[in-house]
A and B are shown apart, each in its own frame.
Chain A
Amino acid sequence: MSGSLAERSEPDPRTASGPLLDVSGIKLSFGGIKALDDVSFTVDSGQIVGLIGPNGAGKTTMFNCLSRVYVPNEGQIRFKGQPILKEPTHRIADIGIGRTFQNLALFKTMTVLQNVMVGGHCTTASGFIGNALRLPSVRREEDELVGRAWSLISYLGLESVAHARVSDLPFGTQKRVEIGRALASKPTLLLMDEPAGGLNHEEIGGLGDLIRQIRDERDITVLIVEHHMSLVMAISDKVVALDFGRKLAEGTPAEVQKDPEVIRAYLGTND
């Protein structure tokens, strides 16, 4: 793990012109509480970026701003150079930002296959009339989507449970289904909210490999919120640390780990 840390600290050659995601000056308050206070950072194409911080630091709130579930009071978010805060929530998947949720937000009465197929909603276009008549174009689109969903299911090793209702599956499996569902939208940027939460030691090792594979084989940039420090530090090209809604540090895992502010936030101080 320490070997890969050293490799990751070098700039990624895939980093081309301009960042993929540019977050600048985001402020968001709930009542009088500043959930996010002037947060800025960038994610370059092809990177795995870790967003860390103690509980209540504002990580998930940041994710909710990126997927337009929340609208920040101030600041700008640009994706591929385009501002996205004016876009409606349902357009975000189409633009190329997929996400998984911290506490599982699967469609619980649906099967694994159906969940992954809903993930592909933005990649398909048929409407009520076409579906009502089950036009040939709808059948083709449906077949293509089933095929694509199935290849994701086998990629994630979910074949044996593909037709099971997701609510009947163990937590770790449901987390994989969420990843499959997010990948089905063919994202350029994947937001993963605590993918290691609730997983055992072995599963976490596999998860690290999976996230790297997703980046390397599918060319997807990953922004990950995670509490599991050794995972984040092992796979991230860059780490952004938040605390009380403010950015404490941004840099390579090695730099952030040494940052005195970050150490203080995690270990607490007596002064």
Chain B
Amino acid sequence: MPTRNPADMLQIAGIEMVSWRRIWLVAGLVIAIALPFLFEGFTVFQLTRALIYAIAILGLNLLTGFNGQFSLGHSAFFAIGAYTTAIMMDRWEVAYYWTILPAAAVCFVAGFLFGLPALRLEGLYLALATFALATATPQILKYEPVAKFTGGVQGLDVFPDDSPVSFLSNDQWWYYFTLVVALIAFLVAWNLVRGRTGRAMIAIRDNPIASKTMGINTALYKSLTFGVSAAFTGVAGALEAIVIQFVAPDSFTFLLAVSFLVGLVVGGIGSIPGAIFGGLFILLIPNWADQISQGLSWAIYGLFLIGAVYVMPAGAAGLVRLVTMRLAKKPSG
């Protein structure tokens, strides 16, 4: 029968790695739950948005990090998710919490369908095709025939109900709502990645021909992964619409898609917890850069980015891995 992974039995300060992972998970959860009471309204709102970006980056990570398919177009799926929620709330007065799963479903279908022609494209060519998707999306949202649903250039206002819990402010409530959705998203992603589907996704990234020979239907897996990835990013878009209470075409530009990619690389390609760091980075760093100098904010952002990539070539997750490897010792005796 299987022996335990020797890496799990390494110890830091006499505690096994497996236990450390649990400790960090619990500590992370406690911190995540405590945060809205430690900071004031606007910071809580920013943290909520960082969580939303983390979900979007998680979706991109499934596609690019685990399956090896590039996307410069995930802003499109973020937009589709946001507009699904906004239109459902605006047109049919659906309660916000009933719009999350439909947004995921619509984005799954959109991603799956886009994934089919993408099967013929690899690497940079796929990057270009998805780039086209990103640049086309804001224009399509403003286009006359669809404008009666999307609100055209003006976009749509969204009016979600106030916090149902008396002792929580609206900012705190949206934070917790987002946190619950994020926890589910991360659990689902972790389940996908550690099982049969995840092995197939990684196998396709590592060696497509050998994967086929091992019986993996690579075409089906790649398009399904595209759909699942889009669904995650769509859920993030839906949350963004609810939290910002407004959607407009120009919130979903190519720059957003590139931000997701930045968050993916800085957080750690192929790392699930890395997406959280990625989400914090793409939200907080531009804000800080802006506070330091409004005129040179992008230059300062660039410096932060170069610094991050230089210090953490394998992303934040890679840095954590490196530090634990340095600290970990074999159990004594």
Which positions in A face B, CB cutoff 8 Å?
67, 69, 88-94, 99, 101, 105-110, 113-114, 117-119, 121-122, 124, 126-128, 131-134, 138, 141-142, 145-147, 150, 159, 162-163, 181, 185
Whether the pair A118, B195 counts as a contact (CB closer than 8 A) is no
How many residues belonging to B are interface residues under a CB distance threshold of 8 Å?
Answer: 33
CB-CB under 8 A from B303, the residues of chain A are none
Can you list 30 A-B contacts (CB < 8 A)?
A69-B212, A89-B213, A90-B216, A90-B217, A92-B213, A93-B214, A107-B203, A107-B211, A108-B206, A109-B205, A114-B199, A118-B214, A121-B203, A121-B215, A122-B215, A128-B192, A128-B197, A131-B192, A131-B198, A132-B191, A132-B192, A133-B191, A134-B195, A141-B196, A142-B195, A146-B2, A147-B1, A150-B1, A159-B3, A185-B215
Interface string of B209-252 (1 = CB under 8 A from A): 11111111110000010001000000000000000000000000
CB-CB under 8 A from B206, the residues of chain A are 106-110
Main secondary structure of the interface of A (DSSP, over half): helix
State whether A138 and B195 are in contact (beta carbons under 8 Å apart), knowing that A132-B188, A150-B1 are contacts in the complex: yes
Question: Is residue B6 contacting chain A, with contact meaning CB distance below 8 A?
Answer: yes
Question: Is residue B207 contacting chain A, with contact meaning CB distance below 8 A?
Answer: yes
State whether A124 and B196 are in contact (beta carbons under 8 Å apart), knowing that A69-B209, A150-B2, A162-B3 are contacts in the complex: yes
Given contacts A117-B199, A128-B192, 8 further A-B contacts (CB under 8 A): A90-B212, A121-B200, A122-B215, A132-B191, A132-B197, A150-B2, A163-B5, A181-B214
**Which of B1, B2, B203 has a CB less than 8 Å from the CB of A118?**
B203
State whether A118 and B6 are in contact (beta carbons under 8 Å apart), knowing that A99-B213, A107-B207, A150-B1 are contacts in the complex: no
Question: Is residue B202 contacting chain A, with contact meaning CB distance below 8 A?
Answer: yes
CB-CB under 8 A from A142, the residues of chain B are 195-196
**How many A-B residue pairs lie within 8 Å, measured between CB atoms?**
107
Whether the pair B218, A90 counts as a contact (CB closer than 8 A) is yes
CB-CB under 8 A from A91, the residues of chain B are 215
Question: Is residue B311 contacting chain A, with contact meaning CB distance below 8 A?
Answer: no
A166: nearest chain-B partner, CB-CB: B206
State whether A122 and B214 are in contact (beta carbons under 8 Å apart), knowing that A109-B202, A128-B224, A162-B3 are contacts in the complex: yes
Whether the pair B215, A134 counts as a contact (CB closer than 8 A) is no
CB-CB under 8 A from A88, the residues of chain B are 217
Question: Is residue B180 contacting chain A, with contact meaning CB distance below 8 A?
Answer: no
Which positions in B face A, CB cutoff 8 Å?
1-3, 5-7, 188, 191-192, 195-200, 202-203, 205-207, 209-218, 224, 228, 270
Q: How far is the CB of B274 from chain A (nearest CB, A)?
A: 15
Q: How far is the CB of A40 from chain B (nearest CB, A)?
A: 24
CB-CB under 8 A from A163, the residues of chain B are 5-7
CB-CB under 8 A from A141, the residues of chain B are 196
| A50-B270 Cα distance, complex, nearest whole Å | 42
Whether the pair A121, B196 counts as a contact (CB closer than 8 A) is yes
CB-CB under 8 A from B199, the residues of chain A are 110, 114, 117-118, 121
| A64-B70 Cα distance, complex, nearest whole Å | 28
CB-CB under 8 A from A93, the residues of chain B are 213-215
Whether the pair A101, B210 counts as a contact (CB closer than 8 A) is yes
Whether the pair B191, A134 counts as a contact (CB closer than 8 A) is yes
State whether A121 and B216 are in contact (beta carbons under 8 Å apart), knowing that A107-B202, A107-B206, A128-B228 are contacts in the complex: yes
Residue among A92, A105, A146, A185 with most chain B CB within 10 A: A105
Q: Which 10 A-B pairs rank lowest in CB-CB distance, beginning with the nearest? A: A122-B215, A93-B215, A105-B210, A107-B206, A131-B195, A163-B5, A89-B212, A131-B197, A134-B191, A150-B2
| A126-B97 Cα distance, complex, nearest whole Å | 29
Q: How far is the CB of A211 from chain B (nearest CB, A)?
A: 19
| A93-B218 Cα distance, complex, nearest whole Å | 13
Q: How far is the CB of B46 from chain A (nearest CB, A)?
A: 30
Residue among B7, B195, B207, B216 with most chain A CB within 10 A: B195
| A185-B214 Cα distance, complex, nearest whole Å | 7
| A94-B212 Cα distance, complex, nearest whole Å | 11
CB-CB under 8 A from B217, the residues of chain A are 88, 90
CB-CB under 8 A from B214, the residues of chain A are 93, 118-119, 121-122, 181, 185
